[in-house]
């Protein structure tokens, strides 16, 4: 039996080429997050998940704080450059959704 949903899942890929150029408003992004949170399956259909959406300086500050926190737990002498590269790729995005 052919299932379109599972076919789409198999083709899904994460894209990390994030940027700050978006063609929709912050309100449209918030509306999309709200719909996704409401319509996503949850245990016993309880919809207990919550999300925080950060834009602008709040978004940048989160990734600065994350970098500082990770530096304090990375063992001395371990190469931190790959971690900074990954953090910078997230920092380059328009915003952050925390679940």
Residue range 31-74, pLDDT digits in tens: 999 998 888 888 887 777 889 999 999 999 999 999 999 999 98
Which of 37, 40, 46 has its CA nearest to residue 98? 37
Give dist(CA 19, CA 16) in Å, integer: 9
Gyration radius of the chain's alpha carbons: 17
Task: Name the β-bridge partners of 98.
Answer: 52
The pLDDT tens digits of the residues spanning 14-36 come to 877 899 999 999 999 999 999 98
What domains are defined for the chain? 4-98 (3.40.109.10)
**What are the tokens at 32?**
């999309």
């Amino acid at each position: 039996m052919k299932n379109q949903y599972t076919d789409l899942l198999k083709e899904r890929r994460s894209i990390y080429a994030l940027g700050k150029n978006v063609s929709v408003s912050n309100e449209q992004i918030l509306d999309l997050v709200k719909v996704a949170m409401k319509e996503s399956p949850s245990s016993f259909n309880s919809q207990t998940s919550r999300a925080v959406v950060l834009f602008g300086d709040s978004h940048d500050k989160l990734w600065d704080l994350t970098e500082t926190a990770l530096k304090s737990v990375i063992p001395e002498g371990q190469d931190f450059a790959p971690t900074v590269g990954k953090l910078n790729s997230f920092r380059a995005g328009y915003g952050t959704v925390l679940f």
